[in-house]
């Protein structure tokens, strides 16, 4: 790993994208001016489950300025349904039309689309569309979904159990029999949503003459989105351009091609007019995408000193009404990587996913968010039952540096991670032993402090071999190009979709490093599928690892060619000893640098405008592209420690301290990495304490505004103390390991463990989130310390 030679990678440079965003000059979807654009507004179902009997649009169509009212039947003629049917054992294939044709499946399901002169009129007209429904019994939760004789959410399936997988290695039953104790725990995570502050939205422009569709949209995955959109519009990929400029947050919500977006695109082609749509917040809460509703149970067979002999996991996930992704995909990853940094060889899991009459689920920043809470909560449960110190239980089970690479029971290999080092650093920082004394003293005064530990092993970057092994279709590769123009200006691109991660900054550093030029001279072009190469986009935490490595390798290709030209100009046989340093070619002789007088710009000029001066056989120009497929899986790691005070009278939790020791390998931009750490921990804490997408018993969504769906503000969150402990990965050309989701995983676990530590004197355990005052009070009712 070429660690020490980096001069640009890892420098703390303020972000290049800031200026336009700070001055109101960003270009988010809705900022793009499109003359003559019509506006779309969706008519949505008030019922969680109902047959569509009749749609009467006469009154709406009679309003001046209303161009069309489109229904599922219209869209079915113009578009192809989405079929999700990967060959995975235990996963049922499913299909969905662009808009529902015969029945609606959740409160907020779109049934018709009004297209009108402006948004106000479109909304008025939507109210005039009369839809007659015949309500059906609704499935409001996972238990109901599995009950005998229950309604079917998807009538093409034999039951609501859309996916079930089992796995077992070793002999967990034997381990249970020989165990000193079998410790059982439960973890119930609640439904949440991504809540980007910019809602979804798009603008479609159909060019009838060229038969070409341009879709402006905020997307994390421009090329995969284009593939889907083209296929479902029955167009070729050469007839569609996706353009995603500034994106006001994604967090996983801006990956799928949603039905609304496809409808808007189809409407534009049908009407031969530009059509745009801006989702309102209520629609975003009700009908964009939800996440995280899952119940996990573990059974740990342990020795009397807290060593893990065997582990069993059950997951039951409520996936909502529609599958935009294979239903097994999120929960399956949790089961695959559950054991994280802990050693155990006998392991079994069963993962079941059910459909209910709620908004469909998808990946949300850390789709496997519950993993660390489940594993670390299990560690705490072991400590509790055996009356051992929770830190000690962790130390006894955690893999040591000498034992790496370590193969998890599922076959996943962890290497180049530092769980012990980060854990010890974090507990040293919070003065663990002294905390226990403070905690005891506070308890004597009737104050309840709690400390929660949570180690995280974050699966950041999926290589194609992981997908293949897991039976999931997909590629993990990334693509990049670097072009040096005749003037020496540098353009570069890759297939990621930015939504606030500072790519233009971090990747200009990567290109600057690879080329040996000032990052300020490099321009990164993202988000337009006609410009960017076909990459897999931004999901998981692959940007820095897959994207950074691809771009670095591509820039090195460019550097190599330029130095070969330099050698020719200097009359040398080879470029050995030549290097580009700050835009100048130098020769290294016995550790000394001698300026050759040749500049980067001169080489660029030569490459394009004086091809006869190039080495024999070399093609003119400086145009490079490259793809790279990372190892099957890349892991980074961290240790989180959270200190809370629980007010036992009110149930309120106050976070007193929050420490993260993290190792994410080579850091491209320390500025960006720290920001991602803050943001991820904040999202985890906000979800664990406040956010809750609530449906009533009849499956009506009762969280349609930000007054109902609570999210953390500046007064709810602490100051985060970050301990950077980065050690490079040997599996990546740049040494990066990825990050940005682990913060969520750690926060969910650390806060829960801290609250349970505070609750310990009362003999109760919080097994579900959110850790709301109501819930904590209900646990404490009638209990005394």
Partner 1 sequence: MDTVDFELSVNGERHAVRAEPRKLLTDVLREDCRLTGTHVGCEHGVCGACTVLVDGRPARACLLYAVQMRGHEITTIEAIAKDGVLSPLQQALHEVHGLQCGFCTAGIVMTFEAYLKENPRPTEEEIRDVLSGNLCRCTGYQNIVEAVLKVVHA
What, of partner 1, ligand FES, none, does residue 318 touch, CB below 5 to 8 Å by kind?
Answer: none
Please, what sign has the CA dihedral across residues 519, 5, 458, 323? Answer: positive
Tokens of 563: 């130095």
Q: Toward ligand FES, which CB reaches closer, 733 or 743?
A: 743
Q: Smallest distance from the beta carbon of 217 to ligand FES, in angstroms?
A: 17
Q: Are 214 and 204 in contact (CB under 8 A)?
A: yes
Q: Smallest distance from the beta carbon of 197 to ligand FES, in angstroms?
A: 4
- Closest C-alpha among 681, 630, 220 to residue 463: 630
Q: Are 193 and 693 in contact (CB under 8 A)?
A: yes
Helix, coil or strand: residue 332: helix
- Contact partners, residue 100, CB within 8 Å, separation at least 6: 52, 72, 109, 110, 111
- What is the dihedral angle through the alpha carbons of 173, 177, 182, 188, rounded to the nearest 10 degrees? 20
Q: Is 249 in the site for ligand FES (CB under 6 A)?
A: yes
Q: Toward ligand FES, which CB reaches closer, 249 or 761?
A: 249
The residue whose Cβ lies closest to ligand FES is 197
Q: Smallest distance from the beta carbon of 248 to ligand FES, in angstroms?
A: 6
Return the residues of window 461-500 that contact ligand FES according to CB under 6 A: 500
Query: E strands within 448-545?
Result: 448-462, 478-484, 490-494, 522-525
What, of partner 1, ligand FES, none, does residue 683 touch, CB below 5 to 8 Å by kind?
Answer: partner 1
Query: Using CA atoms, how far apart are residues 492 and 623, in angstroms rounded to an integer?
Result: 10
What, of partner 1, ligand FES, none, does residue 499 touch, CB below 5 to 8 Å by kind?
Answer: partner 1
Secondary structure of 245-285 in HEC code, one letter for each residue: CECCCCCCCCCCCCHHHHHHHHHHHHHCCCEEEECCHHHHH
CB atoms within 10 A of CB 184: 12
Return the residues of window 289-318 that contact ligand FES according to CB under 6 A: none
Q: Toward ligand FES, which CB reaches closer, 249 or 474?
A: 249
Return the residues of window 31-70 that contact ligand FES according to CB under 6 A: none
What, of partner 1, ligand FES, none, does residue 357 touch, CB below 5 to 8 Å by kind?
Answer: none
Interface contacts to partner 1, rule CB under 8 A: 14-15, 17-19, 21-28, 30-31, 33, 119-120, 195-199, 246-249, 251, 278, 280-281, 499-502, 671-672, 674-675, 678-679, 681-683, 705-707, 711, 713-717, 719-720
What, of ligand FES, partner 1, none, does residue 195 touch, CB below 5 to 8 Å by kind?
Answer: partner 1
Q: Smallest distance from the beta carbon of 1 to partner 1, in angstroms?
A: 27
Quick one: which of 197, 616, 619, 714 contacts ligand FES (CB under 6 A)? 197
Q: Are 330 and 417 in contact (CB under 8 A)?
A: no
Q: Toward partner 1, which CB reaches closer, 100 or 502?
A: 502
Taking CA atoms, 401 is separated from 394, 420, 728, in Å, by: 15, 8, 14
Q: Toward partner 1, which CB reaches closer, 202 or 780?
A: 202
What, of ligand FES, partner 1, none, does residue 21 touch, CB below 5 to 8 Å by kind?
Answer: partner 1
Return the residues of window 115-174 that contact ligand FES according to CB under 6 A: none
Tokens of 579: 């290097």
CB atoms within 10 A of CB 537: 25
What, of partner 1, ligand FES, none, does residue 119 touch, CB below 5 to 8 Å by kind?
Answer: partner 1
Q: Toward partner 1, which CB reaches closer, 28 or 406?
A: 28
Q: Smallest distance from the beta carbon of 21 to ligand FES, in angstroms?
A: 8
Taking CA atoms, 300 is separated from 195, 725, 745, 776, in Å, by: 36, 31, 21, 26
Q: Which uninterrupted H or E stretch holds 672?
A: helix 670-689
Q: Toward ligand FES, which CB reaches closer, 69 or 285?
A: 285
What, of partner 1, ligand FES, none, does residue 775 touch, CB below 5 to 8 Å by kind?
Answer: none
Tokens of 81: 């349904």
Query: E strands within 361-469?
Result: 406-407, 413-414, 448-462
Q: Is 704 in the site for ligand FES (CB under 6 A)?
A: no
Query: Using CA atoms, how far apart are residues 299 and 181, in angstroms rounded to an integer?
Result: 10
Q: Smallest distance from the beta carbon of 198 to partner 1, in angstroms?
A: 5
Q: Is 252 in the site for ligand FES (CB under 6 A)?
A: no
Applying CB under 6 A, the site for ligand FES has a residue count of: 3
Q: Toward partner 1, which CB reaches closer, 165 or 501?
A: 501
Return the residues of window 496-535 that contact ligand FES according to CB under 6 A: 500
Q: Are 643 and 750 in contact (CB under 8 A)?
A: no
What, of partner 1, ligand FES, none, does residue 724 touch, CB below 5 to 8 Å by kind?
Answer: none
Please, what sign has the CA dihedral across residues 719, 723, 724, 729? Answer: negative
Q: Smallest distance from the beta carbon of 500 to ligand FES, in angstroms?
A: 5
Dihedrals φ, ψ of 416, to 5°?
Answer: 50, 40
Q: Toward partner 1, which CB reaches closer, 246 or 662?
A: 246
Q: Toward partner 1, which CB reaches closer, 503 or 624?
A: 503
Q: Toward partner 1, which CB reaches closer, 195 or 355?
A: 195
The contact set with ligand FES (CB under 6 A) reads: 197, 249, 500
């Amino acid at each position: 790993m070429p660690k020490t030679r980096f001069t640009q990678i890892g420098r703390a440079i303020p972000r290049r994208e800031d200026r336009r965003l700070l001055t109101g000059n960003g270009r988010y979807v809705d900022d793009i001016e499109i003359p003559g654009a019509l506006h779309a507004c969706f008519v949505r179902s008030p019922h969680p489950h109902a047959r569509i009997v009749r749609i009467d649009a006469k009154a709406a169509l009679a309003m001046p300025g209303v161009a069309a009212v489109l229904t599922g039947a219209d869209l079915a003629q113009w578009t192809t349904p989405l079929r999700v049917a990967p060959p995975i054992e235990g996963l049922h294939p499913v299909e969905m039309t662009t808009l529902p044709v015969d029945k609606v499946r959740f409160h907020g399901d779109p049934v018709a689309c009004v297209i009108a002169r402006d948004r106000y009129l479109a909304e008025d007209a939507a109210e005039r569309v009369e839809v007659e429904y015949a309500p059906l019994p609704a499935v409001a939760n996972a238990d109901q979904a599995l009950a005998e004789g229950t309604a079917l959410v998807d009538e093409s399936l034999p039951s609501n159990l859309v996916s079930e997988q089992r796995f077992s290695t070793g002999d967990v039953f034997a381990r249970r029999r020989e165990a000193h104790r079998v410790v059982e725990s439960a973890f119930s995570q609640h439904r949440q949503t991504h809540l980007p502050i910019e809602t979804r939205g798009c603008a479609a422009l159909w060019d009838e003459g060229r038969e070409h569709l341009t879709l402006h949209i905020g997307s994390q995955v421009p090329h995969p989105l284009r593939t889907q959109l083209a296929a479902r519009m029955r167009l070729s990929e050469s007839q569609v351009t996706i353009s995603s400029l500034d994106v006001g947050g994604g967090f996983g919500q801006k990956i799928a091609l949603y039905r609304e977006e496809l409808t808007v695109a189809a409407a534009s082609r049908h009407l031969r007019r530009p059509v745009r749509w801006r989702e309102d917040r209520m629609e975003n809460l009700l009908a964009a995408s939800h996440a995280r509703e899952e119940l996990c149970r573990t059974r740990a067979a342990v020795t009397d000193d807290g060593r893990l002999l065997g582990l069993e996991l059950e997951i039951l996930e409520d996936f909502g009404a529609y599958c935009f992704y294979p239903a097994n995909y999120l929960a399956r990853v949790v089961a695959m990587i559950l054991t994280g940094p802990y050693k155990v060889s006998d392991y079994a899991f069963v993962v079941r996913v059910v459909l209910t009459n709620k908004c469909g689920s998808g990946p949300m920043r850390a789709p496997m968010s519950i993993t660390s809470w489940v594993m670390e909560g299990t560690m705490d449960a072991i400590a509790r039952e055996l009356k051992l110190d929770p830190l000690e239980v962790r130390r006894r089970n955690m893999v040591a540096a000498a034992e790496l690479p370590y193969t998890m029971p599922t076959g996943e290999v962890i290497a180049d991670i530092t769980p012990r080092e980060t854990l010890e650093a974090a507990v040293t920082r919070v003065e663990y032993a002294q905390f226990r004394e403070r905690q005891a003293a506070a308890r004597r005064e009737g104050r309840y402090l709690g400390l929660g530990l949570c180690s995280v092993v974050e699966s950041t970057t999926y290589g194609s071999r992981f997908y293949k092994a897991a039976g999931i279709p997909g590629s993990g590769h990334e693509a990049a190009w670097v072009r040096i123009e005749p003037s020496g200006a540098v353009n570069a691109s890759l297939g990621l979709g930015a939504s606030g991660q500072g790519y233009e900054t971090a990747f200009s550093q990567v290109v600057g490093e690879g080329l040996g030029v000032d990052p300020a001279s490099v321009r990164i072009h993202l988000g337009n599928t006609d410009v960017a190469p076909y990459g897999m986009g931004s999901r998981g935490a692959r940007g820095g690892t897959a994207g950074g490595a691809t771009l670095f390798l591509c820039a090195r290709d460019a550097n190599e060619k330029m130095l070969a030209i330099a050698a020719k100009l200097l009359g040398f046989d080879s470029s050995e000893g030549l290097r580009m340093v700050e835009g100048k070619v130098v020769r290294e002789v016995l550790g000394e640098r001698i300026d050759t007088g040749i500049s980067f710009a001169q080489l660029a000029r030569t490459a394009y405008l004086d091809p006869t001066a190039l080495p024999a056989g070399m093609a003119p120009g400086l145009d490079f592209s490259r793809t790279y497929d990372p190892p099957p899986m890349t892991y980074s790691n961290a240790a989180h420690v959270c200190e809370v005070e629980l007010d036992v009278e009110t149930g309120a939790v106050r976070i007193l301290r929050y420490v993260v020791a993290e190792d994410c390998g080579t850091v491209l931009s320390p500025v960006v990495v720290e920001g991602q750490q803050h943001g991820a921990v904040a999202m985890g804490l906000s979800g664990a304490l406040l956010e809750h997408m609530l449906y009533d018993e009849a499956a009506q969504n009762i969280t349609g505004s930000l007054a109902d769906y609570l999210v953390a503000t500046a007064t709810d969150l602490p100051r985060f103390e970050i301990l950077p402990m980065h050690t490079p990965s040997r599996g990546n050309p740049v040494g990066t390991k990825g990050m940005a989701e682990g913060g969520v995983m750690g926060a969910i676990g650390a806060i829960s463990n801290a609250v349970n530590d505070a609750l310990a004197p009362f003999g109760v355990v919080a097994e579900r989130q959110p850790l709301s005052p109501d819930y904590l009070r209900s646990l404490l009712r009638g209990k005394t310390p």
